[in-house]
Amino acid sequence: MKEREAPRWLDVLERCGLEVTAETAPDGPPVKAAIYAVSGFEVEPVVSIPASAPHALDELDGAWHHHAAQASLHGESGEFLILPPVFGGSEVGWIRVKDPVGKNLPSRISGATGSPEFVAVSVDGRHLCAASVEDSDYWVVVHEFRIP
Protein backbone atom coordinates (compact mmCIF):
# COMPACT_ATOMS: atom_id res chain seq x y z
CA MET A 1 0.00 0.00 0.00
CA LYS A 2 1.09 3.48 -0.77
CA GLU A 3 1.74 5.70 2.26
CA ARG A 4 -0.62 8.62 2.64
CA GLU A 5 1.09 11.73 1.32
CA ALA A 6 1.29 14.82 3.51
CA PRO A 7 -0.74 17.73 2.15
CA ARG A 8 1.21 20.35 0.21
CA TRP A 9 0.41 23.01 2.81
CA LEU A 10 2.07 20.91 5.51
CA ASP A 11 5.24 20.65 3.43
CA VAL A 12 5.25 24.44 2.88
CA LEU A 13 4.83 25.18 6.59
CA GLU A 14 7.67 22.80 7.41
CA ARG A 15 9.91 24.42 4.76
CA CYS A 16 9.14 27.78 6.42
CA GLY A 17 10.54 26.37 9.66
CA LEU A 18 7.17 26.21 11.41
CA GLU A 19 6.21 23.32 13.67
CA VAL A 20 2.58 22.25 13.29
CA THR A 21 1.10 21.57 16.74
CA ALA A 22 -2.52 21.03 15.61
CA GLU A 23 -3.84 20.56 12.08
CA THR A 24 -7.18 22.08 12.96
CA ALA A 25 -7.67 25.16 15.09
CA PRO A 26 -11.34 26.07 15.49
CA ASP A 27 -10.62 29.04 17.79
CA GLY A 28 -9.56 31.39 15.00
CA PRO A 29 -11.83 34.11 13.67
CA PRO A 30 -13.90 33.38 10.56
CA VAL A 31 -11.38 33.00 7.71
CA LYS A 32 -13.25 35.43 5.45
CA ALA A 33 -13.24 38.07 8.21
CA ALA A 34 -9.48 37.69 8.62
CA ILE A 35 -8.83 37.96 4.90
CA TYR A 36 -11.05 41.04 4.71
CA ALA A 37 -9.16 42.57 7.66
CA VAL A 38 -5.99 42.28 5.57
CA SER A 39 -7.20 43.01 2.04
CA GLY A 40 -10.41 45.01 2.46
CA PHE A 41 -10.85 48.31 0.67
CA GLU A 42 -10.35 50.48 3.76
CA VAL A 43 -7.35 48.59 5.22
CA GLU A 44 -4.43 50.76 6.30
CA PRO A 45 -1.10 49.12 7.09
CA VAL A 46 0.83 49.90 10.25
CA VAL A 47 3.96 49.72 8.08
CA SER A 48 4.46 50.08 4.33
CA ILE A 49 7.83 49.25 2.78
CA PRO A 50 8.62 49.78 -0.91
CA ALA A 51 9.38 46.31 -2.29
CA SER A 52 12.11 47.87 -4.44
CA ALA A 53 13.96 49.26 -1.40
CA PRO A 54 17.32 47.71 -0.61
CA HIS A 55 16.82 45.08 2.10
CA ALA A 56 13.01 45.37 1.83
CA LEU A 57 12.43 41.80 3.04
CA ASP A 58 14.74 42.38 6.03
CA GLU A 59 12.70 45.47 6.91
CA LEU A 60 9.47 43.50 6.53
CA ASP A 61 10.86 40.78 8.80
CA GLY A 62 11.73 43.27 11.52
CA ALA A 63 8.45 45.17 11.23
CA TRP A 64 6.30 42.04 11.24
CA HIS A 65 8.01 40.55 14.31
CA HIS A 66 7.86 43.89 16.15
CA HIS A 67 4.13 44.33 15.52
CA ALA A 68 3.37 40.64 16.19
CA ALA A 69 4.98 41.04 19.61
CA GLN A 70 3.07 44.27 20.30
CA ALA A 71 -0.20 42.62 19.25
CA SER A 72 0.41 39.66 21.61
CA LEU A 73 0.25 37.26 18.67
CA HIS A 74 2.25 34.50 20.34
CA GLY A 75 0.67 32.79 23.31
CA GLU A 76 2.53 31.74 26.45
CA SER A 77 3.67 28.59 24.68
CA GLY A 78 4.79 30.57 21.61
CA GLU A 79 1.98 29.20 19.47
CA PHE A 80 -0.20 31.08 16.99
CA LEU A 81 -2.62 30.26 14.19
CA ILE A 82 -1.78 30.65 10.51
CA LEU A 83 -3.63 30.22 7.24
CA PRO A 84 -1.33 28.05 5.12
CA PRO A 85 0.40 30.40 2.66
CA VAL A 86 -0.51 28.28 -0.37
CA PHE A 87 -3.17 28.44 -3.07
CA GLY A 88 -6.35 27.25 -1.36
CA GLY A 89 -4.96 27.90 2.13
CA SER A 90 -8.14 29.67 3.15
CA GLU A 91 -10.10 26.46 2.50
CA VAL A 92 -7.68 24.55 4.76
CA GLY A 93 -8.42 26.99 7.59
CA TRP A 94 -6.42 27.86 10.68
CA ILE A 95 -3.45 25.69 11.59
CA ARG A 96 -1.86 25.94 15.04
CA VAL A 97 1.91 26.36 14.80
CA LYS A 98 5.03 27.21 16.76
CA ASP A 99 7.98 29.08 15.30
CA PRO A 100 11.14 27.61 16.86
CA VAL A 101 13.32 29.88 14.67
CA GLY A 102 11.64 33.01 16.03
CA LYS A 103 12.84 35.48 13.39
CA ASN A 104 12.58 36.34 9.68
CA LEU A 105 9.22 34.60 9.18
CA PRO A 106 8.14 36.71 6.16
CA SER A 107 11.49 35.97 4.45
CA ARG A 108 11.20 32.26 5.22
CA ILE A 109 7.68 32.17 3.81
CA SER A 110 8.88 34.05 0.73
CA GLY A 111 11.71 31.52 0.31
CA ALA A 112 9.23 28.64 0.38
CA THR A 113 6.41 30.19 -1.66
CA GLY A 114 7.86 33.09 -3.67
CA SER A 115 5.85 35.66 -1.69
CA PRO A 116 6.09 36.90 1.91
CA GLU A 117 2.29 37.08 2.26
CA PHE A 118 0.57 35.32 5.16
CA VAL A 119 -2.12 35.83 7.78
CA ALA A 120 -1.56 34.88 11.41
CA VAL A 121 -3.73 35.29 14.52
CA SER A 122 -3.31 34.64 18.21
CA VAL A 123 -4.57 31.30 19.53
CA ASP A 124 -7.56 33.06 21.11
CA GLY A 125 -8.50 34.48 17.69
CA ARG A 126 -8.38 38.11 18.86
CA HIS A 127 -5.15 39.53 17.44
CA LEU A 128 -4.14 39.43 13.79
CA CYS A 129 -0.76 40.33 12.30
CA ALA A 130 -0.24 39.78 8.58
CA ALA A 131 2.30 40.44 5.87
CA SER A 132 0.82 41.50 2.56
CA VAL A 133 1.96 42.66 -0.87
CA GLU A 134 -0.02 45.62 -2.18
CA ASP A 135 0.95 47.11 -5.55
CA SER A 136 4.72 47.50 -5.16
CA ASP A 137 4.84 47.65 -1.36
CA TYR A 138 5.11 45.21 1.49
CA TRP A 139 2.56 45.85 4.21
CA VAL A 140 2.25 44.80 7.81
CA VAL A 141 -1.40 44.79 8.87
CA VAL A 142 -2.57 44.53 12.47
CA HIS A 143 -6.20 44.02 13.46
CA GLU A 144 -8.05 43.20 16.65
CA PHE A 145 -11.24 41.18 16.47
CA ARG A 146 -13.97 41.97 18.97
CA ILE A 147 -15.01 38.64 20.42
CA PRO A 148 -18.04 38.69 22.71
* pLDDT digits 0-9 by tens, 25-47: 777 899 999 999 999 889 999 99
pLDDT tens for each residue of 63-113: 999 999 999 999 788 899 999 999 999 999 999 999 999 999 999 999 999
Q: What is the DSSP string of 3-58?
A: PPPPPHHHHHHHHTT-EEEES--TTSPPHHHHHHHHHSTT---SEEEETTSTTHHH
In a domain, 3, yes or no: no
pTM (2 d.p.): 0.91
In a domain, 55, yes or no: yes
Pick the closest to residue 13 from 132, 94, 71, 123 (CA basis). Answer: 94
In a domain, 1, yes or no: no
Number of compact structural domains in the chain: 1
Pick the closest to residue 111 from 65, 147, 58 (CA basis). Answer: 58
Mean pLDDT of the chain: 91
Residue 6 has pLDDT above 80, yes or no: no
Identify the pLDDT of residue 23: 81
72 lies in which domain range?
8-144
